[in-house]
Amino acid sequence: MVIESLFYFSLAVLQALEDGLKKADADPSVKAVMICGENGKFSAGADIRGFSAPQSHPGIGLAPIVSLIESSEKPVVAAIEGVALGGGLEVALGCHYRVAHVKARMGLPEVTIGLLPGAEGTQRLPRLIGVPAALDMITTGKHIPATEALKLGLVDEIAEENTIEAAIRLANKVIGQPLAPRRLSLKPVPTLPNMEAFLREALVKVKKQARGCLAPELCVQAVRAASERPFAEGLRRERELFRLLLSSGQARALQYAFFAERAVRRWATPAGASWSSANAQPVRSAAVIGLGTMGRGIVTSLVKANIPVVALEQDLENLKKGRKAVMLLLEREAMKMEGGAQRLDFHNPARLQFTVDFDLLRDVDLVIEAVFENMALKKEIFHKLSKICKPGALLCTNTSALNINEIASATSRPQQVIGTHFFSPAHVMRLLEIIYGSHTSPSAIATAMQLAKALNKIGVVVGNCFGFVGNRMMFPYVQQAVFLLEEGSRPEAVDEVLEDFGFKIGPFRMSDLAGLDVGWRSRQGQGLTGPSLPAGTPARQRHGQRYSPLPDLLCEHGRFGQKTGHGWYLYEKAGGRTATPDPWLHNFLARYRDTHGIKARAIDQEEILERCLFALINEGFAILAEGIASGPEHLDVIYINGYGWPRHRGGPMFYASTVGLPRVLAKLEQYSEVHPDVPGLRPNAFLRKLVAVGSPPLQEWMSYVSWQSPKL
C-alpha cells in the first residue's frame, strides 16, 4: 500500500496519514507500506505559518503520527525525493526503512526558525546516527545530500532513478523480517567514551556561536536527554523544550525572517513597476571592471554561478595582482566543493578571461563596475561602456552610496543602469542591495534580481538616496556610538553592549575592520573635514548640527584601524585582528573632553543600546515614509544579511515592533530633548503617525504612508 504525503503538513495531511496507516494495519492483504511525497518532494515539514497560533498548530499532532508509523506491524518504507526537512525527516525516521533519491536533501532545520525537531526527532536521530552527527545536524539545521545521508546511516539505500520503485522493491524484500531492530525508539543511543565532556564542549561551542539565540542551546539539551534518559522520558524533555521555544519571541522573530526573505522577492517601486509584470533578460555572460577587494569577490561569485566572466583592470600591473588574488579565492572555493576545480573550470579562458581591453566587453550581457567610490571615475567608465556594450547589456555599478542617476547620466541608456551594492567579502555575503534610478527599467530590476538568485544571494530592491538603505541607517547608529564616547563612554563599553545584544561585531570593532580612512575620505569629499573645511568652522558642529571630529582626529594620528595596528583599539601588529582596549585612546578621549569642556558622565547600558538602535530605527521610518523601500521586511532583510543584525531579533523594524512603537517614540523624544542638535534622534513623522493610529502590526505599516505603493 502507498500513502502519499504533501509538501508541508496540514491537519488534513496528518489525518490522511493516520487514516491510511490504520487502514493498512487492519487490512490483511496489505503486507507493507510506502510513504512518499507529491510531485517529487517528500516534505518540508510542518507549516511554519501555523506556529504563530501555537495551540492549534498541526505540527503538534505530528509526533503521535510518527509513533504510529513506527509501531506499525507491517514494514513502512519512506521514499524520499526532493527534500525531507524538519517534520518531514521526522516522519521518515518513524519509518522502518528509508530510500532516498540521489539528489534528495535532508535536514532538521527547526533551529533556524527558533525551534527544535519536536516530533521526536531529537530522540530518534541520535539513536540512528550517533550523538556527534545528530547534534551537528540538529544544531546547525544544515541540509545534507543523500550521499552523505547514506554514509551516516540515515538512509538505507540511494536510488539513481525511480525512488518509488526502489522503495517498493525494498518493502517487498523485507516483508516478514522482524521489525523491532528497525524501531529507532527501541535502540540505545550509541555510547561515546567521553559523552559528558563531548556534550559539555558542544554546549559551549553552540552558545558562543548563537550570540544569544536560545534554540541551538536547547537543541543540545534535548540531545543530551536522548543520551541520558530512556526514550519516553527523553520525549517528555523534548516536548518541554519545544514548548519553551515555541512561546519565545525568538521563534517568532526567526520565522518572520524566514518569510521576510521570501517576501522581498516580490519587489515593487512607487512608480508602479513590480516583479509580477517585469521580465528578466537572460545573463549568459558578464564582465567585472576593477579587481580590488570587491571586484575579486564579485568575479568569484559569478564563476561559482557558472556565468562566464571577463575581468578587466586598468593596467597590466593591477591585472596581474587581481588575477592572482581571484585565482587564490577560486582555488579556496573549489576546495570546499566536491569536484570543485573541475566544476568551476576557472582555468578555462572561455569561462574566465582577464584583460585590460574594454573591447572584450562588447558582447557581454551584463557589466558590473567595481572601481573606487569616485564619481568622476565611475562616470568616465559608464560613458565608455555606453559606447562599447551591446544595446541590451545591463550596466551595474557596485557602490555603497553614490547617486545612480548621476552615474546613469554619463550614458545614452540610463534605463539599463542599476546599482548593485555587494557586501564584503562579495563571494560570501548573501546580501545584494539593488538600487534603481529614476530611469532604470523594470526589466533591468528584474534582471538584477535574477542575477542575485543565480549568485545565491538575497536581492533587495531599494530606491536611490545617499547610502541607500543599509548605510543610510548605519550612519545615525555609528554617529550615536561616537557621541557616546564624547560624553564619557569607551569603545569597548559600546561594542560590548551591542555585541551582547547579538551583533556579530560592535560599531568600533567594525570601523577598525573596515578602515577608518574610508569614512575619512568620504567626509573630506563632502567638505565636512580636511582642507576644504571653511576657516572658523566650529570643531563640533557642521551646518548647525552636532558633529564629532573624533574619527577624523584618529585618522590624522595615522590610526586607520586593523591595517595600521591601531584605531579605536590596539592590535598586536599592523593587519592584526586581536583588539585590546588602548590606554592611549582613553587618555586621548580624556584630553579631547578637556579641550572641549565636556564633563564625562557614566553612561549605562540601556542608554548605549537605545541611542544607537533607536537612531537607526528612526532612519528606517524615514526610509519607509520616503518610499525608498517598499516595506519594513526589506530593511530587516538588509540588516540581517548585510550588517550582522542578530537574526533571532528579526531585524531592526521587527525589533521596534516588539519593543513597542510608543516606547521607541517616547525614548527618542527623551533623547532628542537632551540633544536638540542631533537630527537623528528627532522622531520621524511616520513613526509618530503610526503611534497616533494605535501602533498597528508591522504588516500594516505601509498602508499608512502618504505615497501609495502598488499592490504587491
Ligand X SMILES: CCC[C@H](O)CC(=O)SCCNC(=O)CCNC(=O)[C@H](O)C(C)(C)COP(=O)([O-])OP(=O)([O-])OC[C@H]1O[C@@H](n2cnc3c(N)ncnc32)[C@H](O)[C@@H]1OP(=O)([O-])[O-]
Concatenating the DSSP letter of every residue in 423-472 gives -SSTTT--EEEEEE-TT--HHHHHHHHHHHHHTT-EEEEE--STTTTHHH
Task: Give the three cell numbers for residue 550.
Answer: 573624533
Q: What phi and psi, each to the nearest 5 degrees, are found at residue 42?
A: -70, -75
**Position of cell 557558472?**
306
Closer to ligand X at the Cβ: 170 or 222? Answer: 222
The only residue of 87, 414, 459, 491 in contact with ligand X, by rule CB under 6 A: 87
The only residue of 6, 104, 111, 119 in contact with ligand X, by rule CB under 6 A: 119
Residue type, 604: D
Specify the stretch interacting with ligand X by CB under 6 A; choose among 108-116, 186-194, 461-469, 591-599: 108-116
Which phi-psi region, left, alpha or beta, contains residue 392 (left: φ > 0; alpha: ψ -120 to 50)?
alpha
Distance of CA 148 to the CA centre of its chain: 25
Does position 59 interact with ligand X (CB under 6 A)? The reply is: yes
CB 445 within 8 A of CB 460: no
Helix (H) or strand (E) holding 36, with range, is strand 33-36
CB of 47: closest distance to ligand X in angstroms?
4
The only residue of 1, 47, 308, 633 in contact with ligand X, by rule CB under 6 A: 47
User: Hey, is 378 helix, strand or coil?
Assistant: helix
Does position 110 interact with ligand X (CB under 6 A)? The reply is: yes
Does position 414 interact with ligand X (CB under 6 A)? The reply is: no
| Contacting ligand X within 121-140 (CB under 6 A) | 121
CB of 516: closest distance to ligand X in angstroms?
39
Binding mask 241-280 for ligand X (x = CB under 6 A): ------------------x--x------------------
Pairing of strands 286-289, 309-312: parallel
Concatenating the DSSP letter of every residue in 133-161 gives HHHHHHHH---EEHHHHHHHTS-SEEESS
Does position 216 interact with ligand X (CB under 6 A)? The reply is: no
Closer to ligand X at the Cβ: 90 or 365? Answer: 90
Concatenating the DSSP letter of every residue in 518-562 gives HHHHHHHHTTSSSTTSPTT--TTEETTEE---HHHHHHHTT--BG
CB 86 within 8 A of CB 109: yes
CB of 256: closest distance to ligand X in angstroms?
12
Please count the helices (runs of H) and the strands (runs of E) in the chain. 28, 20
Pairing of strands 157-159, 97-101: parallel
Closer to ligand X at the Cβ: 10 or 471? Answer: 10
Task: Give the three cell numbers for residue 542.
Answer: 557642521
Give dist(CA 291, CA 372) in Å, integer.
10
In 3D space, the residue among 99, 109, 130 whose CA is nearest the CA of residue 37 turns out to be: 99
Concatenating the DSSP letter of every residue in 324-350 gives HHHHHHHHHHHHHSTTHHHHH-TTSTT
Specify the stretch interacting with ligand X by CB under 6 A; choose among 47-55, 210-218, 428-436, 597-605: 47-55
Closer to ligand X at the Cβ: 128 or 170? Answer: 128
Does position 460 interact with ligand X (CB under 6 A)? The reply is: no
Specify the stretch interacting with ligand X by CB under 6 A; choose among 44-52, 523-531, 613-621, 622-630: 44-52
User: Hey, is 315 helix, strand or coil?
Assistant: coil
Q: Which of 110, 333, 369, 619 is catalytic?
A: 110
Closer to ligand X at the Cβ: 255 or 511? Answer: 255
Per residue, the 3-state secondary structure of 381-422, as one string, reads HHHHHHHHCCCCCEEEECCCCCCHHHHHCCCCCHHHEEEEEE
Specify the stretch interacting with ligand X by CB under 6 A; choose among 58-66, 449-457, 569-577, 664-672: 58-66
Does position 85 interact with ligand X (CB under 6 A)? The reply is: yes
Closer to ligand X at the Cβ: 62 or 452? Answer: 62
Residue type, 199: L
Closer to ligand X at the Cβ: 90 or 512? Answer: 90
The only residue of 24, 113, 368, 473 in contact with ligand X, by rule CB under 6 A: 113
90 as an active site residue: the answer is: yes
With the C-alpha atoms ordered 76, 77, 78, 81, is the resulting torsion angle positive or negative? negative
Closer to ligand X at the Cβ: 93 or 133? Answer: 93
Does position 8 interact with ligand X (CB under 6 A)? The reply is: yes
User: What are the C-alpha distances in Å from 212 to residues 68, 223, 264?
Assistant: 37, 20, 26
CB of 421: closest distance to ligand X in angstroms?
23
Give dist(CA 639, CA 649) in Å, integer.
11
Give dist(CA 43, CA 169) in Å, integer.
22
Q: Which of 4, 18, 81, 90 is catalytic?
A: 90
201 as an active site residue: the answer is: no
CB of 39: closest distance to ligand X in angstroms?
12
Give dist(CA 75, CA 97) in Å, integer.
8
Specify the stretch interacting with ligand X by CB under 6 A; choose among 38-46, 213-221, 494-502, 692-700: 38-46
Does position 109 interact with ligand X (CB under 6 A)? The reply is: yes
The only residue of 24, 35, 36, 48 in contact with ligand X, by rule CB under 6 A: 48
Specify the stretch interacting with ligand X by CB under 6 A; choose among 43-51, 376-384, 463-471, 529-537: 43-51
The only residue of 17, 60, 79, 461 in contact with ligand X, by rule CB under 6 A: 60
Closer to ligand X at the Cβ: 119 or 253? Answer: 119
The only residue of 44, 168, 326, 635 in contact with ligand X, by rule CB under 6 A: 44
Task: Give the three cell numbers for residue 86.
Answer: 524538519
Closer to ligand X at the Cβ: 18 or 496? Answer: 18
Closer to ligand X at the Cβ: 47 or 552? Answer: 47
Closer to ligand X at the Cβ: 64 or 349? Answer: 64
Residues in the chain: 712
* The Cα angle at residue 471 between residues 502 and 657, in degrees rounded to 5: 50
Closer to ligand X at the Cβ: 141 or 476? Answer: 141
Specify the stretch interacting with ligand X by CB under 6 A; choose among 80-88, 163-171, 424-432, 616-624: 80-88
Does position 491 interact with ligand X (CB under 6 A)? The reply is: no
Does position 92 interact with ligand X (CB under 6 A)? The reply is: no
The only residue of 17, 46, 158, 257 in contact with ligand X, by rule CB under 6 A: 46
The only residue of 62, 189, 222, 280 in contact with ligand X, by rule CB under 6 A: 62
CB of 259: closest distance to ligand X in angstroms?
6
Contacts of 319-325 with C-beta under 8 Å, sequence gap 24+, read: 319/291, 319/354, 319/355, 319/356, 321/291, 322/291, 322/292, 322/295, 322/296, 322/354, 323/291, 323/354, 325/291, 325/296
| Contacting ligand X within 558-577 (CB under 6 A) | none
CB of 118: closest distance to ligand X in angstroms?
3
Give dist(CA 226, CA 120) in Å, integer.
10
Total number of residues that touch ligand X (CB under 6 A): 24
Specify the stretch interacting with ligand X by CB under 6 A; choose among 110-118, 379-387, 402-410, 438-446: 110-118
The only residue of 1, 17, 21, 83 in contact with ligand X, by rule CB under 6 A: 83
Does position 118 interact with ligand X (CB under 6 A)? The reply is: yes
DSSP code of residue 38: B
CB of 62: closest distance to ligand X in angstroms?
5
Specify the stretch interacting with ligand X by CB under 6 A; choose among 107-115, 146-154, 297-305, 601-609: 107-115
CB of 155: closest distance to ligand X in angstroms?
18
- Catalytic residue positions, numbered: 90, 110
Which positions touch ligand X (CB under 6 A)? 8, 44-49, 59-60, 62, 83, 85-87, 90, 109-110, 113, 117-119, 121, 259, 262
